Chains A and B, each alone.
Chain A
Amino acid sequence: MRHTIVRKEALNTENYLIEVMAPNLAERFQPGQFVIIRIHEQGERIPLTVAGVNPKKRTITLIFQVVGKTTMELGTLNAGDALINCVGPLGNPTEVKKFGRVICVGGGTGIACIFPIVKALANAGNEVISIIGARTESLLILENEIEAVSTETYIATDDGSKGHHGFVSEVLRDLIKKYKKPGEIDRVVVIGPPQMMKAAAEVTSPYTIKTIASLNTIMIDGTGMCGGCRVFIDGEMKLACIDGPEFNAHKVNFDDVISRLAMFKEKEVLAVKHFQKSIKKKAGRQ
């Protein structure tokens, strides 16, 4: 089944939003889950986070950052084009219930993934404090949307162009200091680059605040068949696709996640170069 793109929007120079026809997904998606897509017959399978669904329109919204060849190519597609596969929802949904006060931390494209979680947690009656961050102001996504559903929203940018000058984990540390008494923060959910999730986990660990991280490993099938997405939780091997993607952040071996994400780096660079060349060639011919 092909999945037609009904809307495309460039959110900034690095992030795109596409809305795709995916009736089964629109009906079944729960916050925290993901999809695996393939653009065309020669394409690779890559996991993407779902930023939202519209069951009436039978569509889902995907937000992605251009990092490799596939996301670069995805960025060149327009409304009317289609994905050859979009399978999901995969992975386990986020645990959503009334915890009390929850801090949701989103970094980079991770903001797209945390947005439906913030919404669901707020709907479940939690006080949700959101912290979102990016390298610079212009790369910040979904700021208004997050603000609209959070009790408080904090912003951090690496270059200080907006909000706190520095990392989201630093804002998290200050907030935790503010709510010093045990039990004042009931849960932290972090989604973003693994380095950022690692830093956030280190901040909450001494306070023994339950902290959940969503791991964005390399995946192929997403069904527990290849073992490529394996992660180590308290020394035990788990598969991010079927056991996760969310895990207790205090037990995740983040160094390992970071290391394994670099396994195909060289090839990814090659693929990007090859793709850019082919685009230039096409442009030259026209």
Chain B
Amino acid sequence: MIEIGGTRVPMREQSVEERIKNFRSVPYGYNKEEVMKEAQRCIQCNGAPCETDCPINMKILEMIREIAYGNFKKAFLIVKEDNSIPGITGRVCPQENQCEGVCPVSKRGNGINIGKLEAFVADWARENGVKEEIHIKERPERVAVIGSGPAGISCSVDLRKFGYQVTLFEALHKAGGVLQYGIPAFRLPTEIVDYEISYLSEIGVDVKLNFFVGQNIKFSELRRDFDAIFIGTGAGAPLFMSIEGENLKRVYSANEFLIRVNLMKAHKFLEYDTPIVWGDTVGVIGAGNVAMDAARCALRLGAKKVYILYRRTKKEAPAREEEIQHALEEGIILEELVAPKRVLGNKDGWVTSVELFKMRLSEADESGRPRPVKIDGSEFILKLDTLVEALGTKPNRLFLHKAPELNVTSWGLIKVDKNLMTNIEGVYAGGDGIRGNATVILALGDGRRAAKSIHERLSKGKKKGVKKD
């Protein structure tokens, strides 16, 4: 019978000893019985704060109700109305700060495991070949979408559903953006990303890979040839610390480390051609999702000791709660309150250690988190043989440089109005490219909103098309 509140149906996971040797998903996911039982904990509360707090206001309450009754198909179709990639968001959203965090049931035990419910319905649909039926009423207008991350994917899907002729340009040889090259398979299995991507072609999105807009196709050509443009180019350019020693061998940006593994499959070297080198002791600078991902990849490659080097403390770490917990379970050492001064190497140019400052926390800064301050004279040396910098990323400057007519902030973020339109009429933008390092769900939401704005403009507005100059 319906059990209210209580504790979560536990998620079965690969044991630590097993999982640090492979790149397979850590949680196994709920089975039918478990998922229904977990859904039955939901009290279908008044106002459903989970929905209000969801950046795309997914119909969570309805989804849970259908799951509770075992109507998985219906649950899937409800989810799909708002979210084109539930199998992905269910796994990577920071639910603890969104839907699950505000769920009143959390006060009586812990909140409904909404992420895992969402992932279940998506997986169930994929495994059972269940798809939403869409009837596309073709329209003649052509829309270009630049970048195939979550923003570009959701914008393409929605535009296609409105009937537009959509061409998606992606610079890399595989679509998916961060979902493909950044987030490792043990968090987001590749087949799930590939499945969502294949859906794009299935509904008639023309996916053009290996087109780096601004470089081998001009932005002005897109402005000439399309009736609207959506820019979802993300914020993929790595930041470096600009300290001594970053030229040393086995010093990586997290992007390079993760691209080698996730996109190029360097962990299967010899079967795949892309190499990666690491040592027994790996240090990762930063404590966001990217840092956790890099650290856990290093462990799975075979590193013996992996440090997360963070200038604040665990409490302030921006990574998803589940990621931090998994990383610590796996034996990753969180070195709090340290910041690098310089990187040291041997005469052959290989990194051998990093010199760190000890830090202390001072009053809160603009981000609301306590500001880390160097303690003078506290420097010490940490020996390691691989260093990965996960300091965050910036928008790709090549694209901005080649599209100088776009208004951007001093940080290189594209400026948009409330309809996500840039200063160029008919050109829209969303995702990390307007927000900086944000989240998958915010990017997805932007893609949807932009698609709606584009539809308004092309179907109802008098002025059509992209302003040509």
| A-B complex is real | yes
A interface residues (Cβ-Cβ under 8 A, vs B): 1, 24-25, 28, 38, 42-45, 69-70, 84-90, 220-228, 230, 232, 237, 242, 253, 256, 259-260, 262-264, 266-268, 270-271, 274
Q: Which of A38, A84, A85, A221 has the most CB of B within 10 A?
A: A221
Sample (20) of A-B pairs whose CB atoms are under 8 Å apart: A1-B209, A1-B210, A28-B216, A38-B173, A42-B271, A44-B274, A44-B275, A85-B173, A85-B209, A85-B210, A88-B216, A223-B172, A224-B396, A226-B255, A226-B259, A227-B252, A227-B255, A228-B252, A267-B269, A271-B275
Q: How far is the CB of A75 from chain B (nearest CB, A)?
A: 15
Q: A259-B349, A260-B349, A267-B277 are in contact. Are A90 and B397 (CB under 8 A)?
A: no
Q: A28-B216, A221-B172 are in contact. Are A45 and B264 (CB under 8 A)?
A: yes
* A260 adjacent to B247 (CB under 8 Å): yes
Q: A260-B247, A274-B270 are in contact. Are A227 and B253 (CB under 8 A)?
A: yes
Q: Which of A225, A237, A253, A266 has the most CB of B within 10 A?
A: A225
Residues in B whose Cβ lies below 8 Å from that of A221: 171-172, 259
Q: How far is the CB of A132 from chain B (nearest CB, A)?
A: 29
* A25 adjacent to B216 (CB under 8 Å): yes
Given B171, B242, B249, B264, which contacts A223 in the complex, CB threshold below 8 Å? B171
* A42 adjacent to B272 (CB under 8 Å): yes
Which of B13-21, B232-240, B306-314, B315-323 is found at the contact surface with chain A?
A: B232-240
Cα A89 to Cα B247 with chains together (Å): 27
- Which B residue sits closest to A273, measured CB to CB? B270
Q: Which of A24, A89, A224, A253 has the most CB of B within 10 A?
A: A224
- Which B residue sits closest to A220, measured CB to CB? B259
B131-185 contacts to A, CB under 8 A, are: 171-173
Q: How far is the CB of B207 from chain A (nearest CB, A)?
A: 11
Count CB-based A-B contacts (< 8 Å).
120
Cα A86 to Cα B252 with chains together (Å): 25
Given A25, A90, A220, A253, which contacts B260 in the complex, CB threshold below 8 Å? A220
Residues in A whose Cβ lies below 8 Å from that of B171: 87, 221, 223
Q: A44-B273, A87-B210 are in contact. Are A263 and B250 (CB under 8 A)?
A: yes
Given A69, A90, A225, A270, which contacts B238 in the complex, CB threshold below 8 Å? A225
Cα A84 to Cα B173 with chains together (Å): 9
Question: Is B256 interfacial (CB 8 A cutoff)?
Answer: yes
* B396 adjacent to A225 (CB under 8 Å): yes
Q: A89-B216, A256-B247 are in contact. Are A224 and B210 (CB under 8 A)?
A: no
Cα A38 to Cα B172 with chains together (Å): 11
Residues in A whose Cβ lies below 8 Å from that of B202: none
Q: How far is the CB of B303 from chain A (nearest CB, A)?
A: 16
* A87 adjacent to B273 (CB under 8 Å): no
- Which A residue sits closest to B240, measured CB to CB? A237
* A264 adjacent to B242 (CB under 8 Å): no
* B215 adjacent to A90 (CB under 8 Å): yes
Residues in B whose Cβ lies below 8 Å from that of A69: 273
Q: A256-B247, A262-B249 are in contact. Are A225 and B255 (CB under 8 A)?
A: yes
Q: How far is the CB of B271 from chain A (nearest CB, A)?
A: 6
Q: Which of B236, B269, B270, B396 has the most CB of A within 10 A?
A: B270
Given A43, A223, A268, which contacts B275 in the complex, CB threshold below 8 Å? A268
Q: A90-B216, A227-B240 are in contact. Are A44 and B264 (CB under 8 A)?
A: yes
Residues in A whose Cβ lies below 8 Å from that of B252: 227-228
Given B250, B256, B397, which contacts A242 in the complex, CB threshold below 8 Å? B397
Residues in B whose Cβ lies below 8 Å from that of A230: 240, 246-247
* B249 adjacent to A259 (CB under 8 Å): yes
Residues in B whose Cβ lies below 8 Å from that of A228: 252-253, 256
Q: How far is the CB of B241 from chain A (nearest CB, A)?
A: 10
Q: A44-B274, A264-B275 are in contact. Are A90 and B212 (CB under 8 A)?
A: yes
B interface residues (Cβ-Cβ under 8 A, vs A): 171-173, 209-210, 212, 215-217, 236-238, 240, 242, 246-247, 249-250, 252-253, 255-256, 259-260, 264-265, 269-277, 348-349, 396-398
* A227 adjacent to B238 (CB under 8 Å): yes
Q: How far is the CB of A54 from chain B (nearest CB, A)?
A: 18
Cα A14 to Cα B236 with chains together (Å): 37
Q: Which of B209, B216, B246, B271 has the most CB of A within 10 A?
A: B216
Cα A84 to Cα B210 with chains together (Å): 11
Q: How far is the CB of A114 from chain B (nearest CB, A)?
A: 22
- Which B residue sits closest to A40, measured CB to CB? B273
Cα A249 to Cα B464 with chains together (Å): 49
Given A85, A225, A256, A271, which contacts B273 in the complex, CB threshold below 8 Å? A271
- Which B residue sits closest to A227, measured CB to CB? B253
Residues in B whose Cβ lies below 8 Å from that of A222: 212
* A226 adjacent to B253 (CB under 8 Å): yes
* A260 adjacent to B249 (CB under 8 Å): yes
Residues in B whose Cβ lies below 8 Å from that of A220: 256, 259-260, 264, 274
Q: How far is the CB of B266 from chain A (nearest CB, A)?
A: 9
Q: A42-B272, A44-B274 are in contact. Are A87 and B247 (CB under 8 A)?
A: no
- Which B residue sits closest to A242, measured CB to CB? B398
Cα A268 to Cα B236 with chains together (Å): 28
* B238 adjacent to A226 (CB under 8 Å): yes
- Which A residue sits closest to B272, measured CB to CB? A42
Cα A224 to Cα B238 with chains together (Å): 8
Q: How far is the CB of B260 from chain A (nearest CB, A)?
A: 7
Given B173, B237, B255, B277, which contacts A264 in the complex, CB threshold below 8 Å? B277
Residues in B whose Cβ lies below 8 Å from that of A70: 273
Cα A266 to Cα B264 with chains together (Å): 18
* B216 adjacent to A223 (CB under 8 Å): no
Cα A163 to Cα B264 with chains together (Å): 44
Residues in B whose Cβ lies below 8 Å from that of A259: 247, 249, 348-349
- Which B residue sits closest to A270, measured CB to CB? B270
Residues in A whose Cβ lies below 8 Å from that of B396: 223-225
Cα A88 to Cα B216 with chains together (Å): 6
Residues in B whose Cβ lies below 8 Å from that of A242: 397-398
Q: How far is the CB of A166 from chain B (nearest CB, A)?
A: 28
* A237 adjacent to B246 (CB under 8 Å): yes
* B397 adjacent to A224 (CB under 8 Å): yes
- Which B residue sits closest to A28, measured CB to CB? B216
* B240 adjacent to A87 (CB under 8 Å): no
Q: A237-B246, A268-B275 are in contact. Are A223 and B398 (CB under 8 A)?
A: yes
* B249 adjacent to A87 (CB under 8 Å): no
Q: A85-B210, A232-B247, A259-B348 are in contact. Are A224 and B273 (CB under 8 A)?
A: no
Q: Given A45-B173, A226-B259, A256-B247, list of 8 further CB < 8 A pairs?
A: A87-B171, A87-B216, A224-B237, A224-B396, A237-B242, A259-B349, A260-B247, A267-B275
Residues in A whose Cβ lies below 8 Å from that of B259: 220-221, 225-226
